[in-house]
Structure 1
Amino acid sequence: MTRPELPRLVEQTRALLWLQMSLTTILLLIITLMLSFLARVLGESRSDEFLAIYLTLWSTPFLLALSGWQFRRGRAIAWILAVVTQLTMLTIIVGCMFLGVFVGLAALILFTMAAWVLANLFRAEVRGFFFA
């Protein structure tokens, strides 16, 4: 049994969600490996802020995978979950930039992907697929 073809922008957004999940998982692995170094650099004053961002970063790949999985089924909850996840990603990126932990190419790639997915989510073709 073959699955029905998704509209172009819906399929593109679904693929971007899976790619973003993979990149976020790699970033999480890198930050986890650098955790002791980052704890020394940040010091005691910013450890609570870093912990909040780190725990939020742990939940993000799961939410991205869940929304990407639900995209195929065309459920409205997938669209809502994708929007919430992208806003969470933008919050993580801004929070890490203020902490000075997360700058450079990784921040630029994840910010660009989050903005691209958000732009796709609010296009008429994608909204029509989920809410028509």
Structure 2
Amino acid sequence: MARMLGRGIWPIAIAICLGVVVWLSRSEAASPAPLISTLEKDGYRIEVRTLEANSSPMEAKQFLVTITDSSGADVEAASIQIKSWMPKMFCGIFTAKVVMNSQGSGYEGTLVPVMSGSWVAETRVRIGSEEFVVVHDYEVV
């Protein structure tokens, strides 16, 4: 009886382990990094947007930044800076070149992430004497 119980427990243990692996892989895939990060503060709305959910290492990653006031009108920033890095890694901090987009309704920044993994883009926007910070997570695969 004990031998039968001992043999019968292994398939159950393997099935449980496989179930946990499948569950973890699906739960991670179901919650990708957001394409838009938003800050609403002091009458301004600042959005940092990426066009694709994932990008590849050593390929340009584009960020779109829009700034509006409480009525929805576009606001021009005195300065915008986008810096990106990998948390808990020592591969450096990368700064995007930021320019006003061709429509004049926002800003575009481009940088090149160097390796796969989870990245953070910190956007600092100065409007008058105020500075606003928006943190945007993204994935490189």
Q: Report the TM-score when normalising by structure 1.
A: 0.27
Structure with the larger strand share:
2
Structure with the larger helix share:
1
Q: Report the TM-score when normalising by structure 2.
A: 0.26
